[in-house]
């Protein structure tokens, strides 16, 4: 014989909350996140729900390894409705660290890190990281992060970094040293009183000393930009990500827009805008369709000022405009990609499970992939000319188009690997194209 107990009907109230395992975390900080709502519980179901809320809130603080909540009858009270709640936490170690490998855009890297979580007892974190990439990329970074207004969703962070990158497609090396200050806050919009949209505002201040050093055989257009520059910029980024998977989504939209103004100090002065959109939908159970679009432009703050190759846009690569080599579309000189002021790229993708294995859910990370990519990279003068002449033929004639098919693998929830057979259909003579197999690994894709 089985009976069902409706916890909603079980009257209960919380007499006390005990916390154990606290060594470094600030009492007031903890009290703020536990709150008093548990004491307002009137039935047992409410008590359990609120306890679960508190547990997830405490875990989010990043101060604790584990949080266990035990609800027990309060023996000291005669009433059986009285309960005591015991919160057992295990704090993160004072110093932690690790070594891990990661995949960036066509580059593997290994990172070693050292971090001090909850350093002052209120969710602050100090971390130091060293990354070495397969393309001679190195990065040293020290970051201090603290919640704003004791809210773990809002962050303020300061980083000091020194990095070195080898941009072999444009034949130069770039050494950067600088400071970034980030403020990250979440937002919610109720669209048409129906759709709740959650996103993040990110405001970044960056002060970077940049040193560009060309190869011995670089084109003169690159060589003449050698030397030191100081960029001081403020950037606003708006991020809405409703995808169910970062690398291989089956549904959801993604929107990232950013606007950056450089010239608050230093000798680099520009306005730069960039946006990325993605929308993914699965139809007929197994067919995932995806539309992508990215665009951007950069303009100097004063007419006549030059934009450095470091800040310009590039197009082409196995995860962007497929069928073109990395930075392969756009102006070139002596095998060096020079970049340009504006670009747009769109993609239409179709993902399907492997033939005859569509019911095997364990193979969700591996799919067939067919695509069309179309895009263009232009100078601001070309755009002005198109507007002045009211003639879009120039714009259309320079557009690049490629189609292809292949396999895509989603690594964890971060990177994706693509192996495609590609046909670049529309190209310019100066472009570096790749007709045939193309392999790429990365985080961002179009």
Partner 1 sequence: MAGLSEPYNESFLPLIQKYYSLEAIAREPWHSDTILFLPSKNQMFIENGGAESIATSIYLSLLNLNHEIRYVKNVNEMSPSGKGPLLKCGKYSIGEFEPIVNFCNLKGYRLLANYLDNSKKTEIKSYILLIQKAFSETIEYLLWKNNSVQKVIKESFNQNYSWPLNHILYLNEFYFNRNKLVSNKIWNLEKLEVLEKFRETNDCLNKKLEGSLYLIGNNMTEADILLFSYLKVLHLYSDFDETLNLLHDFRNINDFYANMSRKLQNILMEKLELN
Per DSSP (E only), the strands in 226-268 are 227-241, 252-266
> C-beta of 334: minimal distance to partner 1 in Å?
7
CA-CA-CA-CA torsion sign (111, 114, 118, 119):
negative
Token digits of residue 181: 């200050």
Binding test (CB under 8 A) with partner 1, winner from 39, 209, 254, 279: 209
Pairing of strands 82-91, 13-20: parallel
DSSP state of 11: B
Site string for partner 1, 349-378 (x = CB under 8 A): ------------------------------
Which of the ranges 82-90, 147-155, 157-165, 220-228 carries the binding residues for partner 1, by CB under 8 A?
A: 220-228
Which of the ranges 86-94, 210-218, 245-253, 365-373 carries the binding residues for partner 1, by CB under 8 A?
A: 210-218
CA-CA-CA-CA torsion sign (65, 70, 74, 79):
positive
Which of the ranges 69-77, 214-222, 293-301, 372-380 carries the binding residues for partner 1, by CB under 8 A?
A: 214-222
Site string for partner 1, 167-206 (x = CB under 8 A): ----------------------------------------
> C-beta of 231: minimal distance to partner 1 in Å?
10
Q: Is 216 in the site for partner 1 (CB under 8 A)?
A: yes
434 with 424: CB under 8 angstroms?
A: yes
Which of the ranges 138-146, 225-233, 293-301, 309-317 carries the binding residues for partner 1, by CB under 8 A?
A: 225-233
Per DSSP (E only), the strands in 335-414 are 336-337, 342-352, 366-378, 400-411
Token digits of residue 321: 């405009």
> C-beta of 181: minimal distance to partner 1 in Å?
16
CA-CA-CA-CA torsion sign (265, 267, 270, 276):
negative
Which of the ranges 222-230, 271-279, 295-303, 324-332 carries the binding residues for partner 1, by CB under 8 A?
A: 222-230
Binding test (CB under 8 A) with partner 1, winner from 18, 23, 27, 224: 224
Which of the ranges 33-41, 72-80, 193-201, 211-219 carries the binding residues for partner 1, by CB under 8 A?
A: 211-219
Q: Is 213 in the site for partner 1 (CB under 8 A)?
A: yes
C-alpha–C-alpha distance, residues 341 and 331, integer Å? 11
Distances (CA, A) of 1 to 4, 56: 10, 36
Q: Is 27 in the site for partner 1 (CB under 8 A)?
A: no
Binding test (CB under 8 A) with partner 1, winner from 228, 236, 413, 430: 228
> C-beta of 267: minimal distance to partner 1 in Å?
5
* Residue 21: CB atoms within 10 Å: 15
DSSP state of 14: E
C-alpha–C-alpha distance, residues 325 and 66, integer Å? 47
How many residues contact partner 1, by CB under 8 A?
A: 17
Token digits of residue 204: 């970044």
Residue 313 pairs in a beta bridge with 340
300 with 269: CB under 8 angstroms?
A: yes
Residue 244 vs 334, nearer CB to partner 1 = 334
> C-beta of 126: minimal distance to partner 1 in Å?
24
* Residue 357: CB atoms within 10 Å: 11
Residue 40 vs 228, nearer CB to partner 1 = 228
Site string for partner 1, 242-281 (x = CB under 8 A): -----------------------xxx--------------
Residue 243 pairs in a beta bridge with none
Residue 310 vs 417, nearer CB to partner 1 = 310
C-alpha–C-alpha distance, residues 182 and 275, integer Å? 19
Site residues for partner 1 per CB under 8 A: 209, 212-213, 216-217, 220, 223-224, 226-230, 265-267, 334
């Amino acid at each position: 014989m089985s009976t069902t107990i409706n916890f909603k009907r079980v009257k209960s109230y919380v007499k006390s909350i005990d916390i154990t395992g606290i060594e470094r975390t600030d009492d007031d900080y903890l009290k703020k996140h536990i709150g008093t709502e548990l004491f307002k519980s009137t039935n047992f179901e409410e008590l359990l729900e609120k306890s679960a809320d508190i547990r997830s809130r405490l875990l989010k603080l990043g101060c604790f390894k584990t949080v266990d909540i035990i609800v027990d009858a309060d023996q000291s009270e005669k009433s059986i409705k009285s309960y005591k709640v015991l919160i057992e936490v295990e704090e993160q170690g004072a110093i932690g660290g690790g070594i891990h490998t990661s995949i960036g855009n066509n580059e593997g890297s290994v990172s070693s890190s050292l971090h001090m979580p909850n350093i002052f007892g209120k969710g602050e974190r100090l971390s130091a990281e060293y990354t070495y990439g397969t393309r001679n990329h190195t990065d040293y970074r020290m970051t201090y992060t603290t919640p704003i207004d004791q809210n773990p969703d809002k962050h303020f962070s300061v980083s000091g970094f020194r990095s070195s990158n080898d941009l072999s497609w444009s034949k130069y090396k770039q050494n950067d040293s600088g400071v970034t200050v980030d403020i990250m806050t979440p937002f919610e919009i109720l669209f048409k009183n129906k759709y709740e949209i959650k996103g993040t505002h990110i405001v970044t201040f960056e002060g970077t000393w940049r040193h560009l050093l060309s190869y011995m055989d670089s084109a003169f257009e690159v060589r003449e930009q050698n030397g030191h520059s100081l960029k001081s910029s403020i950037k606003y980024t708006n991020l809405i990500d409703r995808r169910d998977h970062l690398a291989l989504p089956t549904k959801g939209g993604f929107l990232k827009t950013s606007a950056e103004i450089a010239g608050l100090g230093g000798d680099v002065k520009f306005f730069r805008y960039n946006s990325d959109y993605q929308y993914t939908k699965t139809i007929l159970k197994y067919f995932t369709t995806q539309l992508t679009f990215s665009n951007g432009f950069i303009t100097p703050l004063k007419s006549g000022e030059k934009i450095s190759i470091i800040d310009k846009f590039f197009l082409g690569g196995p995860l962007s405009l497929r069928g073109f080599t990395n930075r392969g579309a756009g102006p070139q000189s002596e095998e060096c990609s020079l970049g340009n002021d504006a670009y747009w790229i769109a993609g239409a993708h179709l993902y399907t499970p492997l033939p005859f294995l569509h019911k095997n859910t364990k193979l969700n990370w591996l799919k067939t992939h067919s695509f069309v990519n179309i895009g263009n990279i232009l100078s601001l003068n070309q755009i002005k000319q198109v507007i002045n002449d009211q003639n879009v033929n120039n714009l259309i004639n320079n557009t690049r188009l490629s189609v292809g098919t292949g396999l895509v693998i989603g690594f964890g929830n971060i990177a994706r690997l693509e192996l495609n057979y590609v046909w670049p259909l529309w190209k310019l003579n100066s472009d570096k194209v790749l007709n045939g197999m193309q392999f790429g690994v990365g985080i961002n894709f179009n």
